[in-house]
Amino acid sequence: MSSVAVATRYPAPPVLRSADIAAKTGLVLLLGLAILVPGFGNMDGKGLVPRAIGYPVAAFAIPFVWFTWWRQRASFPWAADFLVTFACFSDIFGNVMNLYDSVDSFDNIVHFVNTGLLTAAIILLTMHRSTSLGAVLERGLAFGVSAALVWEIAEYFAFLRWSPERLGAYADTLSDMSLGALGSVLAAFWVHSMWSRGHLTEVAPQLELAHQTGAGRR
């Protein structure tokens, strides 16, 4: 008797794959233009260089890890990859469209939504769909609060310590972290709810065991 691990391939919806590729393309193009064209992107004094380095690394981390270590064992996690990429793209797009300065609540929306997107991606990547709601919430909150804290630290060292905005940074940091925590909790509820309804099984990494039984070798 032998047991063979077989990676079951679930084709992701074409619209999801297209959206993921489009978000990656848009992210690279907008960052490239922001670097090459002075003043483009409204990111002067807003940590353009750290964003230009960190966002592509984050957006291509899952494809790199999957291709290097997972591709023989698991299907490509399209949903998680899109969620991470879109979180990076939305921040750059918001700067390009000057939404941070022209829409008062846009920064709050980004912290709430993007922390939720990243949390959902981590849950999809690291937990099985049969996991209990309590465990999903625990991981979601642990990651979401940690991610919100890391972002605030990175934001401070990238540009905030030299910006006039630092005068009101304490209240803004508390608000951003609270919104990030709330977004992570709602993301955990959403993912678990989708799993309980039988959804998201075709877009998360899947690995199933195929048991082969033989009568013996001759």
pLDDT in tens, the chain (218 residues): 444 444 445 567 899 999 999 999 999 999 999 999 988 888 877 788 889 999 999 999 999 999 998 888 888 999 999 999 999 999 999 999 999 889 989 999 999 999 999 999 999 999 988 999 999 999 999 999 999 999 888 877 776 655 555 555 666 778 889 999 999 999 999 999 999 998 887 655 555 433 333 444 43
User: Is residue 163 helix, strand or coil?
Assistant: coil
Would you state the pLDDT for residue 72? 83
Say how many domains are in the chain: 1
As beta bridge partners, residue 5 has 209
Q: Is residue 203 domain-resident?
A: yes
User: Is residue 39 helix, strand or coil?
Assistant: coil
Q: Is residue 218 domain-resident?
A: no
CB hemisphere CA count around 153 (13 angstroms): 6
Would you state the pLDDT for residue 114? 97
Q: Which long-range contacts (CB under 8 A, 24 or more apart) does 158-163 make?
A: 158/46, 158/47, 158/50, 158/51, 159/45, 159/46, 159/47, 162/45, 163/45
Q: Is residue 91 domain-resident?
A: yes
Q: Is residue 111 domain-resident?
A: yes
User: Dihedral of the CA atoms 57, 62, 64, 67 (nearest 10)?
Assistant: -170
Q: Is residue 32 domain-resident?
A: yes
What domain range is 162 assigned to? Answer: 2-212
Would you state the pLDDT for residue 160? 61
Cα angle, residue 186 at apex, residues 53 and 146 outer, rounded to 5°: 45
Give me 131's structure tokens.
């996991």
Q: Is residue 217 domain-resident?
A: no
pTM: 0.83
Q: Is residue 109 domain-resident?
A: yes
Would you state the pLDDT for residue 157? 76
Q: Is residue 175 domain-resident?
A: yes
